[in-house]
Amino acid sequence: MDTLEKKSHDGFSIIELIIYLAIFSLLALALSSVFWQVLQNNNRQLAITELMANANLISHQIELNVKNAQSINQPASPGQTANQLSLAMADSSINPTIFNLQDQKINLSQGANPSQPLTSDRIRVVNFTTTNLTSSATSTLGIIKLSIDLESNNPASSIFRPTTFSFTMSISLRQ
Amino acid sequence: MPPSRGQSLIEIIVAMAVFVLAISAIFAISGSSFKNSQKTQEYFLAKEIAREGVEASRAIRDNNWANLTNGDHGLTINNNQWIFQGTEDDVSAQLPQGKRKINISDLGTDRKLIVATVAWDNGGASIDQLQSSTILTNWQKTTVPPSYCHGAARACDTFVASPTCSTQDGCLWTNAFSGATTNPGFTSNSTGWTGADWLWRATTETRVATGGNPGGFIRIRVPKTRNILGGGYWRQAFTTTVANPTATVSFDWKNIAYASGGTVTAYVFVDTESGVPIIGTQVWSQTITANTVWASVSSVNVSNKVATAGTYYLKVAYYVAGGSSNVGPFTIGFDNVQLNWSKTGSCSGTPTTCDIFLTQTTCQAQLDCQWIP
């Protein structure tokens, strides 16, 4: 009788085991879901950081070159739209300076130098549109509006949502 | 042995609370990082939009400084050019409820402060805002240096307007001249006028004190007789001092006595000689067949008679051909007889190096001047 009583107090009953398992699996599920979220968010943040870094670089490079340009070659006339920005520069070694879209990257070529990609391998440039908004009254001074759409280059099989960033900028010539 | 060796309900609740706290901390960190990243993107976009505002203002300035009017403006592209429109523009395509406003204010003459403000809803309680500014100057303004002339002024007359002085500099200014015969009204005498017979000695030329138009007038009277052939005339000498002036004659006339049987004509001449007029060279004539009242003839153009500068004679004349029987008398009166001539100034000569033209209403101050660039 004593032995029987003691034995019944020693182990788990099947009900207890089931309850423990249920609680444990619920906790594990919640925990893994949280970690999944954090991981996904982290990945997204990384993608956005990369997009922003590239957007900043494009913006600065275009600003720098347009401010030093003498005139706009492409898009040639007011109102015209192009997928590149070609600038006439005073310095013959960097004339012309061309930003264009090639292999989903913005490439910068200056003079006879081979063209260099500005954007990293980890992002895709899906749109690079330039519009010449120069007033015809002042043909020597130009203003350019650019529309740029960037996309994070996640592999197609990635379970993470691809991240995009679009922006427009305008910059006018200074000389 | 104590009866409760396992976990109590309290312990489980505490453990779960700790667990939940830990999880929510992780969520909070993750969420704030997400929010920060969104803010970074929004500020990047806002920075580009604000800069676009400044750059577009610059393009508008380059197009026309006058378009930079003080106050708040929105931007839009019209006809492939940036223009101001309204007091702000909508940039909600890029920023949630985003608005862009360009404020322009004066910073002294030909300098303006441009402030582009981009404001948007950040999803929180406040509104995010970013400003970009620049100072624009009216670099295309051209100031005309004050030009002036010096030199001794010479007798000078009407100024010929011309948009540049290149056609005027080095020119010889011609005086504007004018003149007229005197004593047109014969009010108190006939001074300046001389009466003379025209091939008919019986003619009398007298000034009459009353009955003119009004007051005094001059009269030519051919008395009644036979075989009348001639009359009389009044003349006054005048001198023109310039070639080809515009000259006109005005006068009043009245035939006072007429008799049928005579062929009567009134004439006006402008001659180079003082002697009797020659029929056919008149500037005006009128065949008279009855008595008349005072009639005015104004501004008969006699310019072709005074082509060169010199002395001329204005003559008003009366001529009768009477035939073999006794007819007459024949009498005419003239009043308010005057010839006016004038010429506006002009310039001639070879233009020389010349500069900005100073507007002047007369050439008095410009004549003999040397133009300074």
The mean per-residue pLDDT over the stretch B50-78 comes to 89
- The tokens describing B146, both together, are 């004050």
- Predicted confidence band at B263 (pLDDT cuts at 50, 70, 90)? confident
The predicted structure's pLDDT at residue B265: 92
DSSP string, B293-313: --EEEEEEE-GGG--SSEEEE
- The tokens describing B107, both together, are 């910073």
Q: B49 vs chain A: nearest CA distance in angstroms?
A: 7
Q: CA B177, CA B161: separation in Å to the nearest integer?
A: 18
The mean of the pLDDT values for chain B is 79
Residue B247 is classified by DSSP as E
The structure tokens 């024949």 sit at B330
Q: Which residues of A touch B (CB under 8 A)?
A: 27, 30-31, 34, 37-38, 41-42, 44-45, 48-49, 52, 55-56, 59, 78-79, 132-138, 141, 143, 145, 165-172
- Stronger pLDDT, B117 or B361, i.e. the higher one: B117
Question: Which of B2-11, B115-124, B216-225 is least confident?
Answer: B2-11
- The tokens describing A161, both together, are 């949502």
Q: B13 vs chain A: nearest CA distance in angstroms?
A: 13
Specify which residues B248 forms β-bridges with.
Answer: B301, B340
- Predicted confidence band at B356 (pLDDT cuts at 50, 70, 90)? very low
Contact (CB<8Å) A78/B55: no
What percent of chain B is modeled with pLDDT above 70? 81
Q: CA B303, CA B240: separation in Å to the nearest integer?
A: 11
Nearest to B311 by CA among B341, B355, B353, B281: B341
The mean per-residue pLDDT over the stretch B248-253 comes to 93
Q: Quick check: B253 pLDDT over 90?
A: yes
Q: CA B75, CA B118: separation in Å to the nearest integer?
A: 12
The predicted structure's pLDDT at residue B227: 83
Q: CA A132, CA B282: separation in Å to the nearest integer?
A: 77
- Predicted confidence band at B166 (pLDDT cuts at 50, 70, 90)? very low
Nearest beta carbon to residue B33 from set A45, A132, A135: A45
- Angle CA(B232)–CA(B233)–CA(B236) in degrees, nearest 5? 155
Nearest beta carbon to residue A135 from set B37, B45, B62: B62
Q: CA B284, CA B305: separation in Å to the nearest integer?
A: 12
In B, minimum Cα distance to A142 occurs at B59
Nearest beta carbon to residue B48 from set A30, A37, A167: A167
The mean per-residue pLDDT over the stretch B332-337 comes to 92
A-chain residues near B49 (CB < 8 A): 168
Query: How many independent structural domains does chain A possess?
Result: 1
Cα torsion A73, A76, A80, A82: sign:
negative
Q: CA B188, CA B195: separation in Å to the nearest integer?
A: 16
B-chain residues near A138 (CB < 8 A): 59, 62-63
- Stronger pLDDT, B2 or B259, i.e. the higher one: B259
Contact (CB<8Å) A52/B44: yes
Can you list the positions of beta strands (E) in chain A? 69-74, 81-82, 84-89, 97-102, 105-110, 116-117, 123-132, 143-152, 164-172
- Stronger pLDDT, A162 or B46, i.e. the higher one: B46
Query: ipTM beyond 0.85?
Result: no
Question: Which of A6-20, A98-112, B55-69, B104-118 is least confident?
Answer: A6-20
For B:65-94, CB contacts with A below 8 A are: 77, 79-82, 94
The predicted structure's pLDDT at residue B172: 47
Distance, C-alpha B130 to centroid of its chain: 50
In A, minimum Cα distance to B48 occurs at A169
- Stronger pLDDT, B181 or B169, i.e. the higher one: B181
Q: Quick check: B372 pLDDT over 50?
A: no
The structure tokens 């300076």 sit at A97
A-chain residues near B51 (CB < 8 A): 169-171
A-chain residues near B77 (CB < 8 A): 133, 145
- Predicted confidence band at B73 (pLDDT cuts at 50, 70, 90)? very high
The predicted structure's pLDDT at residue B354: 32
Span(s) in chain B for CATH 2.60.120.260: 177-343
Contact (CB<8Å) A170/B52: yes
Q: Quick check: B162 pLDDT over 50?
A: no
Give the DSSP H/E element, type plus range, for residue B319. Answer: strand B310-323
- The tokens describing A10, both together, are 């020693």
The predicted structure's pLDDT at residue B25: 86
- The tokens describing B344, both together, are 């506006």
Cβ contact B289:B306 at 8 Å = no
The mean per-residue pLDDT over the stretch B14-18 comes to 88
The mean per-residue pLDDT over the stretch B316-343 comes to 88
The structure tokens 């309850």 sit at A19
Would you give per-residue pLDDT tens digits along chain A (175 residues)? 444 445 556 667 888 889 889 989 998 998 888 888 888 877 888 888 888 899 999 999 999 998 888 888 888 888 888 899 998 888 888 888 999 998 889 999 988 888 889 888 888 899 999 998 887 765 567 889 999 999 887 665 565 656 888 999 999 888 7
A-chain residues near B23 (CB < 8 A): 30-31, 34
Q: CA B313, CA B366: separation in Å to the nearest integer?
A: 37
Domain B177-343 listed as CATH 1.10.3720.10: no
- Identify the residue among A27, A130, A133 best suited for mutation to test binding to B, counting B beta carbons within 10 A and taking the highest: A133
Task: Identify the domain containing residue A20 by its residue range.
Answer: 2-172
- Which residues are CB-neighbours of B217 under 8 A, at least 6 positions away? B186, B207, B208, B211, B254, B333, B334, B335
